[in-house]
Chains A and B, each alone.
Chain A
Amino acid sequence: MARTFVYVAHKAGVVDDSAAELMAAARRIDSAAAPTALVTGWGQDLDPVCASLCASFREVWKVANESLAYPNAELVRKALGKLLPPDSIVLVSHDHFGIDLAPGLSIKTNAAFVSDVMGIEGKDKNVLKLIRQEFGGQLSAHVHCDLSTGAVLTIRPGAFKPEQMAAVQGQVVDKSSEVGVLTGGRRYLETVVAESGDVDITKQPVLISIGRGIQEKDNVAIAQELADAMGAVVSCSRPVVDAKWLDKSRQVGSSGKTVKPKVYLACGISGSFQHLAGLKGNPFIVAINKNPKAPIFQVADVGIVDDILEFLPELTSKIREVSSAQPVAAHAS
């Protein structure tokens, strides 16, 4: 019986939230199996991490190695390559670390690889039935993965809800001596923390957020005028930053800011999971997009299928009309 492993990310002695989601995904593969936690690192943070994992994992494999003080995917891959039994199933979060680690790990362990898994329908002998998304979330796909030589899966953050489980008394197995010296061709130098921009979008109650549908830089003014009329601030999705139309500090998403507004107007935003990952606190979401298939309509409260370049200016002038007729006393500023 192939063994299932969960690679656990941690920081400053605290287990990342993704561990519980990976555990839930592992139990979707085989509800009877008890996955093993894989923890790599160095120093005083490592033992508290392993100890806390013992409440949910029956076995925790600890790899203490000075080279792994920072999670360098190349070195983690080499360490895991020395430890993993043949035919293992390894689950990793589909984030910047998982994307770095998992494809190469699958080659080195001769395992099948499926990335960004968002659903697990179960196992039929040696075939694992999975669900992914393609075409920017416009379509889903059923994917069959051959488990006969093991598998490496990256799991979409947020796709699997952690389950309530009875606490177990797991044990830590120290695997450090099996890893030995690790060397690689990539050396971590430093982390550069994001600069804060002119406006802090994380503290705004109302965001007018624009995506690819804004089409060109000059059109950003259309959103800014609406924001001015509403007393709101303009934020955006990744393509707008890629095109250099707005500063990175305005980006909502997993590689940008996490925001928690009361009201979020998603204008010309398709709604990729990376974008939605930055949207917390259950805001009232309005989606305006000319593509009725845009995934944003699945998560929005209210949707309007229209061209934002025509819709937004008309909305702005209507709001100006309304507010000049009845000034909102409570917010006289």
Chain B
Amino acid sequence: MEILVCARRVPDTSENEIHLNDAGNDIERDDLVYSINEADNYAVEEALQIVSRVGGSVSVVTVGSEEDEEILRREMAMGASHGVLLSDDAFAGSDGRGIAAVLKAFVQKGHYDLILTGVQAEDGGAQVGGMLAAMLDYPFASLVTAIEVRDNGKLKVSREIEGGNKEISEIDLPCVLSIQTGINEPRYVGMRGIRQVASVPIPKFGSADLGADAGLVGEASAKVKRVDYFVPALGKGAEILQGSREENIAKLIELVAAKGGLN
């Protein structure tokens, strides 16, 4: 099975405190720790596990700039056969639809049986996979937590729905699936593995190579634009205990006991 995983490099929110920049139009990006979007990493692991069962290969593609090559190399160190960078000034400022249009153009240059994305990235969009599927007229399932390749050449997929329940469906290939975190246990990637792929060339395709729909791609075509960021107004907000650790513990015990929390 030929599998394409669409991935993205994002600031790691579990490692960073995100601050607003002075202009208020972006986050303070100096000194941020970047990594592959967590759900995308699960998607690559799932692709590798499928290929180890039924054969085939895994390619990882990202829309971005040369800085984003580091996540492609990381996923190649995990076992992906190919990393591909889609990069062009004309892609800048694209909304989700524009990114999906760039990916669609790339997908149509190859032959993929299965396309995976992470369920969402740091912007919480949860959009590119579903858009890409609709543009390609492929079936789509989101929030996927298990994939089984059936003898009939179709997939049995499990989706996460409310209350921990699972919705099971059969889906035809080719299709697009958005992968939920927790679907597997992504393998560890050591420095040694990354060094081994450090000099593997990463092909780069631009707007002219892909022939993406100019009416959808880039800032001028974006129907959705982020104007600025702001720090959310605290609701009532917590009463922050400002004492020493020992004082905070004493105060906390008192408060929790008063609420019936010590049994």
Given A106-B131, A186-B141, A304-B241, CB of A238 within 8 Å of CB of B181: yes
| Bound-complex Cα distance A243 to B110 (A) | 34
| Bound-complex Cα distance A258 to B18 (A) | 29
Q: B142 touching A74 by the CB < 8 A rule?
A: no
CB A307 to nearest CB in B, in angstroms, measures 10
A123 contacts chain B at the CB level, 8 A cutoff: no
Given A135-B13, A263-B260, CB of A302 within 8 Å of CB of B249: no
Q: A145 touching B259 by the CB < 8 A rule?
A: no
**Quick one: closest B residue to A112, CB to CB?**
B223
Q: B238 touching A301 by the CB < 8 A rule?
A: yes
Task: Among B18, B95, B142, B182, point to the contact of A135 (Cβ < 8 A).
Answer: B18
Among A33-41, A174-182, A247-255, the stretch that binds chain B is A247-255
- 0/1 per residue, B33-70, Cβ < 8 Å to A? 00000000000000000000000000000000000000
| Bound-complex Cα distance A6 to B167 (A) | 24
| Bound-complex Cα distance A252 to B173 (A) | 34
Given A106-B97, A192-B165, A284-B259, CB of A305 within 8 Å of CB of B131: no
CB B12 to nearest CB in A, in angstroms, measures 10
B76 contacts chain A at the CB level, 8 A cutoff: no
Q: B175 touching A185 by the CB < 8 A rule?
A: yes
Q: A242 touching B223 by the CB < 8 A rule?
A: no
Q: A319 touching B262 by the CB < 8 A rule?
A: yes
Output the residue of A99, A132, A287 with the most chain B CB within 10 A: A99
Residues of A within 8 A of B171 (CB): 185-187
List which A270-293 residues lie within 8 A (CB) of chain B.
Answer: 270, 284-287, 291-293
List which A89-129 residues lie within 8 A (CB) of chain B.
Answer: 95-96, 99-108, 111-116
Residues of A within 8 A of B170 (CB): 186-187, 189
CB A161 to nearest CB in B, in angstroms, measures 14
| Bound-complex Cα distance A205 to B263 (A) | 10
Q: B131 touching A107 by the CB < 8 A rule?
A: yes
Residues of A within 8 A of B226 (CB): 141-143
A28 contacts chain B at the CB level, 8 A cutoff: no
Q: A206-B263, A284-B256 are in contact. List 19 more A-B contacts (CB 8 A).
A: A96-B143, A96-B159, A99-B178, A103-B127, A133-B232, A135-B13, A135-B18, A140-B230, A146-B223, A187-B171, A189-B156, A191-B165, A206-B260, A239-B14, A241-B182, A248-B164, A262-B260, A286-B252, A315-B252
